[in-house]
Structure 1
Amino acid sequence: MKTEENNNRIDPASGAIIMAIGIFLYASIDAFTWVNHMTAKILSVSLIGLAAFIYKSLIKQLLSKSDRVLLLSKPVPSFVMGSWVAGISVLSNVAVKYFPDLSVAVQVVMLFNTLMWLGFMASCVYQFKELMKRPTAHSIHGVVLLATVATQSVVIFWVKLYPSLPEGLLVGAISLGTFFYVIGLALIIVRYGRGNRWTLVEDWPSTNCIIHGALSITGLAIVSSELLSGRIMMVFWLVVFVLLIGVEWLEMVRAAKRVRKLGWEKGIFTYHVSQWSRNFTFGMFYAFTMTMHDNPYYLNSFYPFHEEFLHVWAWIVSLFLIAEMGLWVGSNRSLLDSKSKERVS
């Protein structure tokens, strides 16, 4: 039985919830013309309220020495702090999109977020060193790529609010995120290629979708900065698209195996906070493709395909998001029911 204290704790990866819903409000929602601006504003305010609750709880836990030591002492789980940085970055972009008058206040928030990102970078350097010492001793997965996601999320906001920033700063930050991606992906490959025996059902977590999601946000950072040519970005987009198909094909195989072994409910309809990472990566690929598609600088032979793809992908992003919200609500309802029973007994 869970104690009341444990029930009040929030998962350190909860920043992914803000990332997933935020990227939908930032990009994919525009595909649904029947959603008026006022409705989008209301949803944005609701997200801001949810974010305030989540980050208040995360900060409270971070101030607790025992929780802080527990998080930082484990190399792989420590990377979930990247979801805190990326969540604030995405939320800041949403706030500026729907409430441009708040841009000054948002800049202040992003100043603190940038400082948090710098602290997270220091943690990433240390934790990557620890992982590289014994890569097969840890169950490394896609969460380590949040180092890339956090970095590129900050760059995207910088580009949007500070268009006069030196190009060298943008190139340096994007390169740092890409460097972390290469290290993280190499560690993941070593973990699955040379590590302990593993199974797709038990040892392939939802966070592995960040393998393509981290590249999507890197692509968005690049096209937002217009740092590379249209031809290079066309090839880059193709690489991300192929990775997305490959990773999600593995996910479908995994889902089928889990259903056969555990049944429908436990196999795929049981909520876990890591599932939000898929919603974020799907939404980020939409944002990357949309931004590239709308910028004449990146006009290429895939333009007609992107036009049709974006219509279909917007629905996929929204349907997966609705499904995840349903699992989330169902999970919280079960928790509330169990609390009620405990009070009665």
Structure 2
Amino acid sequence: MNVHKRKIFNPASGAIVMALGIFLQGAMNHFLNQTAGRWFVFAYLLLSIAIYSKLFRQVFQKGFLTSLLKNPVNSFVLGSWIAGFSVLSIVLERYLPLLHFMVAALAVVNSLLWVMFLYICFMNFKQLWIRPAFHATHGVVLLSAVATQSVVILWNELFPSLPDIFSLSAFALGGLFYIGGLILIFKRYLETDWSLTEDWTNTNCIIHGGLSITGLAIVSTKMFQGEILLYYWMLVLMIFCLVEGLEVVRAIKRIRQKGWRKGVFSYNVSQWSRNFTFGMFYAFTMVMHENASYKKHLYDFHEHFLSLWAWVVLIALVIEIVLWGGEKVIKENVKGEQGIY
């Protein structure tokens, strides 16, 4: 007797929309002009529709949302849905302006979803603070900050006449979410035994990704002057190097223990968070570089950095797409072999 279990579409798949969108918004400008880029944006739109239709269909399946919200750490993956919608809206507004009214409606819906997400954040941050050692907290909690700052950037892009109090309040809230999440992550790793190869997660790259999107929000809202932002960018670069330095050590250890394929080249949806953070650091630097207020600071260095980093973002994205495609091929082959018997 065959029992068919309902297949769950990974709720963290919003990270795919985030990662691809931030590449189109930022690093792709280094390789293609806007006219050529529209073809990729159109494909991105179709993929985003496919992903979100699967995600939202699951919301109405019995038990899905309840089981997700019961886990005070994993529930923060809903922030990837918000950030994905924000990035999708900004990309469509820039490349397909004829869709402006549809994009504006999407931005309003996303803002309402963000308000509901805030309740989840407050509820689950409270649980994590009460029992910090009980849950294996990791970088996914920082999606609370990423989602919030993405909404700030979205409002500035699509609703520039919105009173500043809205953007400033949301920006401050995003900052608080980041600080709170970072403290919880530190408490987890400082107060429990853990292994770099098994317990350091892909989502911890959001430690620097959250800072990058906050920097992009600062530039977009023109909140600080050039010199302050320059120091902030240098801080982000330093944190980036520290976190990714740990990732290099982790990769070496995993290769020694498990080999190349299982150690670093096996697909996991959480890996898209790294593509997002790499692309976000590029977008933050690019917008800062293009802004007249910051051109006197490290202009030549940023010019060379962006040329190099665009390739890093592209190569990392191609690798992830290949891993993603390879995983699907393997699953299809396994299904085919099972069907023989």
Range class of TM-score, shorter chain:
over 0.9
Amino acid corresponding to residue 248 of structure 2 in structure 1: M
- Whole-Å separation in 2 of the counterparts to 1:20 and 1:193: 30
Query: Which of 286, 298, 304 is the aligned partner of 1:302?
Result: 298
Deviations 1:100-127 (A, max 9, x none): 1111110101111111111111100000
- Whole-Å separation in 2 of the counterparts to 1:331 and 1:18: 18
Following superposition, the deviation at residue 37 of structure 1 comes to 3.6
Any unmatched runs of 5+ in structure 1?
Answer: none
- Whole-Å separation in 2 of the counterparts to 1:3 and 1:46: 36
Provide the secondary structure at the position in 2 that maps to 1:94: helix
Deviations 1:303-334 (A, max 9, x none): 11111100000000000000000000000111
Residue 147 of structure 2 is matched in structure 1 by 150
Residue 102 of structure 1 is matched in structure 2 by 99
Amino acid corresponding to residue 119 of structure 2 in structure 1: A
Following superposition, the deviation at residue 299 of structure 1 comes to 2.8
| 1:59 is aligned to 2:52 | no
Residue 9 of structure 1 is matched in structure 2 by 8
Residue 74 of structure 2 is matched in structure 1 by 77
| 1:280 is aligned to 2:276 | yes
- The 5-angstrom pairing of residues 291-330 of structure 1 reads 291-330=287-326
Following superposition, the deviation at residue 239 of structure 1 comes to 0.8
Following superposition, the deviation at residue 157 of structure 1 comes to 1.1
Query: Which of 38, 42, 59 is the aligned partner of 2:39?
Result: 42
Any unmatched runs of 5+ in structure 2?
Answer: none
Deviations 1:217-239 (A, max 9, x none): 01101100101111111111111
Following superposition, the deviation at residue 65 of structure 1 comes to 2.8
Following superposition, the deviation at residue 302 of structure 1 comes to 1.5
Residue 187 of structure 1 is matched in structure 2 by 184
| 1:261 is aligned to 2:262 | no
Amino acid corresponding to residue 143 of structure 1 in structure 2: V
Residue 334 of structure 1 is matched in structure 2 by 330
Residue 28 of structure 2 is matched in structure 1 by 29
Identical-residue share of aligned pairs (%):
48
TM-score (norm 2): 0.97
| 1:198 is aligned to 2:194 | yes
Amino acid corresponding to residue 14 of structure 2 in structure 1: G
| 1:239 is aligned to 2:238 | no
Following superposition, the deviation at residue 162 of structure 1 comes to 1.5
Give the direction of change, closer, same or farther, for the CA distance of 1:234–1:3 in structure 2 (3 Å limit): farther
Following superposition, the deviation at residue 36 of structure 1 comes to 4.5
- Whole-Å separation in 2 of the counterparts to 1:10 and 1:265: 24
Amino acid corresponding to residue 318 of structure 1 in structure 2: L
Q: How many residues align?
A: 340
- Whole-Å separation in 2 of the counterparts to 1:20 and 1:202: 24
Deviations 1:81-113 (A, max 9, x none): 000000011011111111011111101011111
Following superposition, the deviation at residue 9 of structure 1 comes to 2.2
Residue 211 of structure 2 is matched in structure 1 by 215
